[in-house]
Structure 1
Amino acid sequence: MSVGPFDLDRRILALALARMADSLGNSFLIVVLPLYIASGSVAGGAFGLTEALVTGLILSVFGFLNSGVQPFAGRLSDTAGKRKVFIVLGLVVLTIANFAYSFAGDYVSLLLIRALQGIGVAFTVTATIALVNELATAETRGGNMGIFNTFRLVGFGTGPLIAGAVVSGGPYTLPIFGTLSGFDAAFYIAALGALVSAVVVTIFVSDADETDDTEATDTNDDGFGIAVLAHDDDHLLDPVFTLGVASLFMAIGIALFSTIQPEINARLDQGATLFGIEFAAFTAAQVLLQAPIGSASDRLGRRPFIVAGLLLLVPATLAQGFVVEPWQMVGARFVQGVAGAMVFAPSLALAGDLATGGESGTKLSVLTMSFGLGTAIGPLASGYLIRYGLAAPFAAGAAAAAIGAVLVYTQVEETVALDRGPTAAPEAVGESSATESGASADD
Structure 2
Amino acid sequence: MGRTGHVPTRSEGETVVSDAMVFGVDRQVLTLSMARAADAVGNSFLIVVLPLYVASGVVSGTTFGLGEALLTGVILSAFGLFNSALQPFAGRITDTVGRRKPFVLLGLGVLTLANFAYSLGSSYWALLAIRAAQGIGVAFTITASIALVNELSTDTTRGGSMGTYNTFRLLGFGIGPIAAGTVVNGGPYTVLGVQMSGFEAAFYIAAVSAAISFLLVTVLVRDPDVERTHDPEGTSIAILDHDAEGLLDPVFTLGVASLFMAIGIALLSAIEPSVNARLEQGATLFGIEFAAFVLVQVLVQTPIGRASDRYGRRPFILAGLVILAPVTVAEGLVVAPWQMIAARALQGLAAAMVFAPALALAGDLTSEGSSGTQLSVLTMAFGLGTAIGPLASGFLIRYGYPIPFAFGGILACVGVVLVYTQVHETIEGGGLAFLLDDVRGIIARS
Unaligned runs of 5+ in 1: 421-443
Higher relative contact order (CA 8 A, sep 6+): 2
Q: Distance in 1 between matches of 2:48 and 2:144?
A: 27
Stretch deviating more after TM superposition (342-351 or 184-193): 184-193
TM-score, normalised on structure 2?
Answer: 0.85
Alignment of 1:342-381 (within 5 A): 342-381=353-392
Match of 2:202 among 186, 191, 195: 186
CA distance in 2: counterparts of 1:280 and 1:194, whole angstroms: 19
The equivalent residue for 2:232 is: 217
Preserved CA contact (<8 Å) 1:79 1:216: no
1: distance between equivalents of 2:393 and 2:146? 29
1:186-237 superposed Cα distances (whole Å, 9 cap, x missing partner): 22221111111111101100112x2111345317xxxx61110102122111
Measure how far apart 1:34 and its partner are: 3.4
Which residue is equivalent to 1:311? 322
> 2:168 is matched by which residue type in structure 1?
F
* CA distances 1:105-160 after superposition (whole Å, capped 9, x unpaired): 33333222221111111111111111111111111111111111111111111112
* TM-score normalised over the length of structure 1: 0.85
After superposition, the C-alpha distances for 1:256-296 in whole angstroms (9 at most, x for unaligned) are 23444555556656666555444333222211110000010
Aligned residues: 413
- Secondary structure of the corresponding residue to residue 331 of structure 1: helix
Conservation of the 8 A alpha-carbon contact between 2:177 and 2:290: no
SS at match of 2:85: helix
Which residue of structure 1 aligns with residue 91 of structure 2? 74
Check the 8 A contact 1:78/1:216 in 2, yes or no. no
Task: State which of 296, 304, 308 in structure 1 corresponds to 2:307.
Answer: 296
* Matching residue within 119, 134, 137 for 2:154: 137
Alpha-carbon distance in 2 for matches of 1:290, 1:202: 27
Name the structure 2 match of 1:14.
Answer: 31
Within the alignment, does 1:104 sit opposite 2:121 as a pair?
yes
Question: Counterpart of 2:232 in 1: which secondary structure?
Answer: coil
| Shift in CA distance, 254/288, structure 1 to aligned 2, threshold 3 Å | same
Q: Distance in 2 between matches of 1:70 and 1:291?
A: 25
Per the alignment, in what secondary structure is the counterpart of residue 416 of structure 1? coil
Correspondences of 1:201-350 after superposition (within 5 Å): 201-208=217-224, 210-218=225-233, 225-261=236-272, 275-323=286-334, 326-350=337-361
Determine the structure 2 residue equivalent to 1:401.
Answer: 412
* Partner secondary structure for residue 138 of structure 1: coil
Q: CA offset at residue 239 of structure 1? A: 0.6
Instruction: Look up the SS of the partner of 1:21 in the other structure.
Output: helix
Asked if the contact 1:317/1:336 (under 8 Å) is kept, the reply is yes
The answer (yes or no) to whether the contact 2:91–2:140 under 8 Å persists in 1 is yes
Correspondence 1:2 to 2:17: no
Instruction: Flag the 1:267–1:61 CA change in 2: closer, same or farther, 3 A.
Output: closer
Distance 1:265 1:95, change over 3 A: closer
Distance 1:12 1:348 in 2: 15
8 A Cα contact 1:251 1:371, kept in partner? yes
Q: Which residue of 2 aligns with 1:439?
A: none
Task: Calculate percent identity across the aligned residue pairs.
Answer: 65
| Cα distance change of structure 1 residues 302 and 31 upon mapping to structure 2, 3 Å threshold | same
Determine whether 1:121 maps to 2:132. Answer: no
* Mean Cα deviation higher: 18-27 or 272-281: 272-281
What's the CA shift for 1:44? 4.3
Question: Closer, same or farther in 2 for the Cα pair 1:314/1:111, shift >3 Å?
Answer: closer
CA distance in 1, matches of 2:338, 2:56: 34
- Provide the rounded CA distance (Å) in 1 between the counterparts of 2:82 and 2:178: 26
**Contact 2:83/2:136, CA 8 A, preserved across alignment:** yes
Question: Does the aligned pair in 1 maintain the 2:70–2:394 contact within 8 Å?
Answer: no
